[in-house]
Structure formats: C-alpha cells, structure tokens
C-alpha cells in the first residue's frame, strides 16, 4: 500500500483508505476512499504508448456520450500517473451499482448500450503513433490461422492417441505375463479429451471453412471499406463483468482491449457468451439483434457478416487452443465437461444459424 500512497501524492486529493480489489501482477485494481469521494485506481497492463491510445479513445467516447466513469487528472493535468518502475495508473470515479445479468431486461439494455458505444466511437483517430491493435480487414488471415492450428491440434491428438494405444498394449502384455489375465485400463483424462476432440474436430473445421468462404465475398469487404472511413472501435469484452448497472443506466469499465474493427466483432462475442451459458435460441437472437439495431442500424448484408462470424467455431477453437497449448484454467474433469457441453450445444447453435435470415427479418 506504501507504493499506492506515494503514487496518490500526484493527485490533488486526500486518500483516507485503500482497499485492494484484485491483483494479477501486471493488472491490479484498488478502491480508494478520498476527500473527493470513492475512486477506482487501475494499474494499466499495457505499454505507455498503448495507454495513450486508450486514453485518447476514452476521451472521444465520453465526449460522444458513452457512459464511461470520469477520469481524474493528476496535479500536472495528466490522465495517468507513473511509478518509479515505469508502471502507469489511471484514476477514475467509482460507478456505484451491480453487474447486470443476462436475463431479458438487462440483456436488452446491454445490447442497446453496445450499439450506442459503437455509434459514440465513430470518427476516432489517434493523435499520436500508438499501439492501436487494428483488426479491421484481418478476419480472413485470422480464420485461416485458426483452421491451420485446429489441423495441428488434430495431428497432436492423433499422435497422442497412437502413443496411448501402444502404451496400453505393452501394459496389458506385461500384466498377462505376470498374472495370465488381461486387465482393463481406464483412459487418462487427457486421452478422453483428445478422443472427443478427434470425434468432432472435422465438423468444426468444416464450419470454419464455410465461414472463411463467406467473408471472402463482397459483404465483408464492403463493410470493412465503410468502417475504414467511419472508424469504429470495438470493446472486445462488452460483457456483464465489465458493465455496472447504476441508477442512471449502464456504466462501461475495463477499456484495455479497445481495437478498430467491425461492430460485428463485439456482437459475435456477446452472442457467444450469452448463448454458451443460457442456450442457443432464435427467439433470444431476435430480441438481442433487434435491441442493437434500434440504436445502431445494420443492413441485411452486414447481418450476413455477423452470421459468418457466428458460424466460425470460435468457442471450440478457444477451448482446444487452451488445452493443446497447456493454458487451461480448470482441472482435467472440468475441461472435459466444457468440451462435452460445447459439443452438445452445437446442434442448437446450428439450428439457430439455419434460421438466421428469419432472425434478421424479425429484428
């Protein structure tokens, strides 16, 4: 806390108490009781150049009405403070409230606020050369890369499966020589994940190839060209965890991942997040898309690009990548259960996507 106390001397207010909310090393958050009310201090997990881009973007969004908590300037008038190690911190007003849920009322509020956010982002241009992380026009390369990686994961699973069969055969042979009986051997958790992966990976690869074919056509190119002129920022994680429901409406927090891209990127992400947890439903898709389009118009052609991005197996790829690159955040049984749930729910996902034209017309 001594570091934070020293850091806060750069601000024109008195700190009464400090409470750590979370600390993930490069990224940390504190709640501060100050002479000017409750404030939130965030340690930025990005470079200073990247932070400059984010701060400029936040100012632009706020100017255009996006409900992002007000940043508090240092005594020198800067939007961030810096400690002796070069780490940067941003102080903001605290948004009082709770995280919204994905039930109908809150969900429609989230979709409308997302549409307003995209509208507010239009026209933003960075004043300096900064790390903008632009994804605009790069979907084809991204899809192709992920499909190549799924093929690589498939090869890894096949290799592991063959090794396991050889190992099991040798173990059985050894046990028979000792006891004269064969014994059943349970598959390890890893081989169970790989078995399920191999049973279904080709189906998901086919979905990815179909999505890649769709975005190589004119609707995607036309929208990219349009947004290249309009400019559009994506939040990249416009989800309940990064929103606070206040008396005035929703407040948007955690702006670390802002990037230039089509609005479809954020729409696909919130669709996947909501439907993965609560089931794929055409009725839900209609209400979500309708709420968004009430504040941010989308043409039928643009909705076809959203369809392509929903068709690409982002969720399957994400889980597979974490598993095969050894970055899973769960134990083996939990990881297997996540894969099973994803596979089981894919039929619902395909049924919803099959009615996409009707969804668009009704929204």
Burial class (CB in 10 A: 0-12, 13-18, 19+), 118: buried
The domain spanning residue 309 has which CATH number?
3.90.1200.10
pLDDT for the residue numbered 171? 47
CA–CA dist 290, 268 (Å, integer)? 14
Query: Could you tell me if 189 and 356 are in contact, meaning their C-beta atoms sit under 8 angstroms apart?
Result: no
For the stretch 37-80, pLDDT in tens is 999 999 999 999 999 999 999 999 999 999 999 999 999 999 99
Q: Is 99 inside a domain boundary?
A: no
203 and 287 belong to one structural domain: yes
Q: Is 127 inside a domain boundary?
A: no
Mean pLDDT for 10-38 is: 94
Rounded to an integer, what is the distance from CA 196 to the centroid of its chain? 25
145 and 63 belong to one structural domain: no
81 and 161 belong to one structural domain: no
CA–CA dist 62, 69 (Å, integer)? 9
Domain boundary among 69, 94, 119: 94
Domains identified in the chain, total number: 2
Q: Is 171 inside a domain boundary?
A: no
Beta pairing partners, 22: 29
Q: Which residues fall within 8 angstroms of residue 136, CB to CB, at 6 or more apart?
A: 224, 227, 228, 260, 261, 262
207 and 297 belong to one structural domain: yes
pLDDT for the residue numbered 168? 45
The domain spanning residue 50 has which CATH number?
3.30.200.20
Domain boundary among 94, 118, 150: 94
Q: Which residues of 64-80 are buried (b: 16+ CB within 10 A; e: fewer)?
A: eebbbbebbebeeeebb
Output the pTM of the full model.
0.90
- Residue linked to tokens 């954020």: 266
70 and 149 belong to one structural domain: no
pLDDT exceeds 50 at position 182: no
For the stretch 193-235, pLDDT in tens is 999 999 999 999 999 999 999 999 999 999 999 999 999 999 9
Q: Is residue 181 very low, low, confident or very high in pLDDT (cuts 50, 70, 90)?
A: very low
Host H or E run for residue 33: strand 28-34
Domain, as residue range, for 194:
139-166+186-362
CA–CA dist 243, 274 (Å, integer)? 14
Mean pLDDT for 284-304 is: 98
85 and 155 belong to one structural domain: no
Q: Is 90 inside a domain boundary?
A: yes
Query: Could you tell me if 227 and 75 are in contact, meaning their C-beta atoms sit under 8 angstroms apart?
Result: no
DSSP-assigned letter for residue 241: G
Mean pLDDT for 149-162 is: 91
Mean pLDDT for 155-172 is: 67
For the stretch 111-155, pLDDT in tens is 999 999 999 999 999 876 666 778 999 999 999 999 999 999 999
Q: Name the more confident of 231 and 25.
A: 231
Q: Is 173 inside a domain boundary?
A: no
Nearest to 68 by CA among 295, 242, 236, 253: 253
82 and 195 belong to one structural domain: no
146 and 74 belong to one structural domain: no
345 and 258 belong to one structural domain: yes
């Amino acid at each position: 806390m001594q570091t934070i106390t020293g850091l806060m001397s750069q601000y024109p207010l008195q700190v009464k108490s400090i409470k750590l909310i979370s600390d993930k090393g490069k990224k940390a958050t504190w709640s501060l009781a100050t002479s000017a009310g409750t404030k939130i201090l965030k340690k930025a997990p990005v470079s200073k150049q990247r932070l400059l881009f984010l701060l400029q973007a936040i100012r632009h969004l706020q100017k255009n009405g996006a409900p992002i908590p007000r940043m508090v300037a240092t005594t020198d008038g800067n939007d961030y403070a810096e400690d002796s190690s070069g780490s940067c911190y941003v102080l903001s007003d605290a948004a009082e409230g709770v995280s919204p849920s994905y039930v109908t009322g809150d969900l429609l509020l989230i979709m409308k606020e997302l549409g307003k956010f995209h509208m507010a982002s239009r026209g933003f241009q960075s004043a300096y050369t900064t790390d903008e992380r632009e994804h605009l026009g790069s979907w084809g390369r991204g899809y192709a890369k992920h499909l190549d990686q799924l093929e690589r994961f498939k090869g890894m699973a096949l290799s592991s499966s063959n090794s396991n069969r050889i190992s099991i055969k040798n173990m059985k042979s050894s046990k028979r020589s000792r006891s004269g009986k064969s014994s059943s051997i349970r598959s390890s958790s890893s081989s169970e994940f790989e078995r399920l992966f191999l049973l279904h990976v080709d189906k998901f690869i086919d979905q990815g190839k179909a999505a890649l074919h769709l975005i190589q056509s004119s609707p995607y190119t036309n929208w990219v060209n349009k947004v290249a002129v309009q400019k559009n920022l994506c939040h990249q994680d416009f989800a309940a965890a990064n929103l606070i429901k206040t008396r005035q409406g929703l407040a948007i927090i955690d702006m670390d991942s802002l990037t230039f891209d089509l609005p479809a990127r954020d729409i696909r992400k919130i669709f996947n997040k909501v439907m993965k947890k609560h089931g794929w439903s055409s009725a839900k898709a209609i209400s979500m898309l309708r709420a968004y389009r009430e504040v941010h118009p989308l043409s039928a052609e643009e909705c076809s690009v959203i369809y392509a991005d929903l068709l690409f197996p982002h969720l399957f790829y994400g889980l597979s990548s974490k598993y095969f690159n050894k970055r899973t955040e769960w134990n083996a049984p939990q990881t297997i259960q996540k894969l099973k749930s994803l596979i089981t729910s894919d039929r619902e996902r395909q049924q919803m996507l099959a009615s996409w034209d009707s969804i668009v017309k009704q929204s």
